[in-house]
Chains A and B, each alone.
Chain A
Amino acid sequence: MLLSQAVEHEELLIDSVNTDYRHKRHLENLSILSGETITCLYNRSGDVVVKVKDGRIAINREFARLIEVTSLNPQYYTESVKNGIVKRKLTKAAKEMFKEEDKKYRQEEKMRKKELKRKGEKR
């Protein structure tokens, strides 16, 4: 699979980076090299924003097509064919799962902030 075909929230394992030497080094310095796992945050018709080790990197369509990846959680995604074009989408179940995760995280954040406030008041 190509990086430009990744969908939101998908975790990917990089197989190979087939750009020229200069940009390969540039991507390596940003820790995008074969064997690393990255998460796709956003895909806008080929341009992707990718989360790599706490950092966010935007990669253009042309470069994204030259990076080969495999999906680490294909069970969340479905492919549908429309007019000869293949579209990859999140399944409904997966969407709900992610929403719930988001909610949980926000609740935990609130609890933690309350605790910190309490600690601050005690002092």
Chain B
Amino acid sequence: MISVALCGNPNCGKTTLFNNLTGSKAHVGNWPGVTVEKKEGIYKRKKDFPEEISIVDLPGIYSLSPYTPEEIVSRNYIIDSRPDVVINIVDSTNLSRNLYLTSQVLEMDVPVVVALNFMDVIEKRGDSIDIKALSEKLGVPVVPISALKSNGMKELMKAVYSVAKTKREGTLLYKDGKIDQAILSLSSKLREEEIASPLFIANKLIENDEAVLAQYSDYEEMRDKILDDNNIQDRSQLENTITDGIYNYIDENLYPVYHKSINAPKRSFSDRVDKILTNRFLGLPIFALVMFLIFCLVFNTDFLFMGAMGLQPIRPFFEDAEPGMPSLGIVLQDLLDWLLNGLLLDSISTGLASINSPAWLTSLLCDGILASVFAVVTFLPLIVLLELFIQILENSGYMARVAFTFDRLLRRFGISGKCVVPLISCFGCAVPGIMGTRTIDSKRERVLTISLTPFFACGAKLPIFLGIGTSIIQEISGGVLQGGVVAFIMYFVGIIGAIIAGFFSNEFIIQGKSSPFIMEFPPYMVPQAKSVGLAMWQETKRFLTRAGTIIALMSALLWFLQTFTWSWEMVPMIEVNGEEVADISSSILASIGSFIQPVFYPLGFAHAADGWKYVVSAITGLVAKEQVVGTMESLNILNATSITIPAAFSFLIFNLYTFPCVAAMSAAKAELGEKRNFRYVMIFWLVSSYVVSAFAYGVGSLSLIGTSAFGTLELVMSIIAAVILVSLITLLILNYLSIKKKNHPLRLIKFNIEDKDAEFIENIYAASRKVTKKKVRHSCCN
């Protein structure tokens, strides 16, 4: 078996190439000891070559010096695991910078094939690259490919196979006369000592690289002796000289292979667009508009509010045509609803009746499992559509500009712009969002970001919003508050809540300065249909597997708990409105639910006689957020009978802010590392959901004044809400005064996150403040 490693800069198309070569049947795991993703796969065209070729996708790196976990993982893999071939993927549109990594890879003792990606973009521009010349100068095969269009894959693998069995010694691209001689002689001595990739190690030793010195400290004397022999005096600046030298070599000898058709423009299309998108005044509103459009397209029951304006297109598949045209997502959902709940469920129940199956079996299958599973599955089109738009946003490269635009604003909340990107992916599913917080260096910011993830409602919470919105709130309000509008309000509440909670955490609990960032803006790309389609398909698979397994099992369990009493008998049937309905109030579930019910009294949705049903629904949300709607359906509370609007909103808020599903919680635990931080985040989620729900119910019950629903509980909650508001305001005032007098903010709860970055961040701020004090005050330095 031939092992191949894919190595290259971030955003150079490694993942696309990997998916092309392995047919996206990759095994994704983690490198041992580090939370960096490891992707392994096998070349899909097994018949082309006599041996199997396994491909490992190394993480995107800019150089092989071992500082970030990604660099360490890649370097160790190449040196220790010794793959047979390393494919270095180079972004041809940014040749100089990518060749810097190539120069380092070439120093290693491993056969290398250079793959020039993005050749389609080069052709479009009318430029060309002299492949032969480049190959001669680098000394390794160079293959032009376009991972997006799947061009050049066969040639690439042919080159890989031809090189796989050969041996290659590292070559140095730096020619200066003195220093390279020193490096070469040190390398030959290290080779005698049988050190792997001696040229690379020799280069780093002479550069005085701290990490390599720590590992190979025995050879320090040898290095000093060789430097003396070659009369090299200025040793402190060697690293700079060598790096400069490599870049100069690349610019003079390698870059000229790139022939441009016209003179390089000062500002390309991407730059002009960037100017508008990151504009001080336009950047945020544009982003808000984009998000609004996405939500409109996905789940607005009144697309672009046309119904409210008086236009009356007809809604297909229904008898009661409501005003306004629904968006694509709603149309698909209604179609699926008709198919599953209408056709399929009816046919199954009549089929079961015709073969005289026992009543409990029909009840279990139709009312228990299928009803709730179908209730959840109808939301599949919405979730997939949402994922589609989020993938488009991410793949086009817009997210980096968003991070930059938001950075200034987020300084107030103690997080940097980099934290926005994972939070936006949370709108699709929280798990990749939480895993995306790996890019954040500062531990403190990572904890803050993860604690804010449930506020950005994940795709699974959409069924809760829409289900309760259309079935309950829309009914009670007589069509005033449409389901789509409710969902929109909830997303908005989530974001506002995130802002307030983030501010609160930063000022009073976890204090510290946000870390400065350096980020690359990838050029704008039209997202490839293949990769977006793949993401949507994976989301569909994940959703349907969940529906088929966890939700079905939970529904069966719940059916059992609600149909049987403690004495293992089925619950008695009673007459309700002339129909025979099972009296759930004597079941096991009812007793468990009623036991827990008092805890949730302040939140408003638990004090009615069947309030325990809402409690149980909320708790089942821990397993999977989609389950909440399923449980509500099987407990028969998805209608406007037993709850008021404020209580419904309070229930929605509780489900929004509380613990995410088990999958997200385990991802958070993995990312946070320390148990202490995880405990903090869990307590934060619990407290914030409880307090905000209670507050919302208190405020909402003011709207019930004068109706019969306004009882003692509502009065108490309104008073408590007022108390909470007043105490928040006093806290803010005290904080402001404390900053003025003692020059540091008030500390409510002492929670320190040990962060070795904190000190260094303080130093950077101090250094930059010193600099501005020296020079004249410029308009930017405030």
Q: Point out residues on A near B: beta carbons under 8 Å.
A: 2, 4-5, 9, 18-23, 25-31, 33-36, 39, 41-47, 49, 51-63, 65-66, 84-88, 98, 101-102, 105, 108, 112, 116
Contact = CB atoms under 8 A, between A and B. Distances in A.
B779 A85 contact: yes
Contacts of B780: 4-5, 43, 45-46, 61
Of the listed residues A22, A39, A65, the one surrounded by the most CB atoms of chain B closer than 10 A to its CB is A65
Interface string B241-261: 001100100000000000001
Contacts of B289: none
B427 to A, nearest CB: 23
Contacts of B267: 9, 41, 102
Contacts of A52: 97
Interface in B174-220: 210
A54 B275 contact: no
B275 A42 contact: yes
22 contacts: A2-B781, A4-B781, A20-B764, A26-B67, A28-B63, A31-B100, A33-B240, A41-B271, A44-B278, A47-B404, A53-B94, A53-B96, A54-B95, A56-B520, A56-B521, A58-B404, A61-B768, A61-B780, A62-B765, A62-B768, A86-B778, A112-B262
Contacts of A116: 126
B767 interface: yes
Nearest to B780: A46
Contacts of A30: 62, 97, 518, 520
* Range, interface on chain B: 35 or more
Contact of A5 (B274, B520, B778): B778
Given A25-B65, A42-B274, A57-B519, A31 B247 contact: yes
B247 to A, nearest CB: 6
A106 to B, nearest CB: 9
Contacts of A54: 93-97
Contacts of A60: 407, 416, 516-518
Given A31-B97, A66-B767, A23 B777 contact: no
Given A45-B780, A65-B771, A86-B779, 10 more contacts: A4-B781, A9-B266, A22-B760, A35-B244, A47-B407, A49-B274, A54-B93, A55-B97, A58-B520, A102-B267
A105 B408 CA distance: 33
B265 interface: yes
A102 B266 CA distance: 8
B775 interface: yes
Contacts, number: 157
A116 B127 CA distance: 13
Give the secondary structure class of A's interface.
mixed
A65 B518 CA distance: 13
A2 B771 contact: yes
Contact of B760 (A20, A29, A46): A20
A75 B780 CA distance: 21
Contacts of A65: 768, 771-772, 781
A45 B779 CA distance: 7
Contact of B518 (A2, A43, A58): A58
B243 A58 contact: no
A8 to B, nearest CB: 8
Contacts of B271: 41, 51, 56
A57 B781 contact: no
A53 B400 CA distance: 19
Contacts of A87: 778-779
B357 interface: no
Given A26-B518, A55-B520, A86 B768 contact: no
Given A53-B97, A54-B97, A46 B518 contact: no
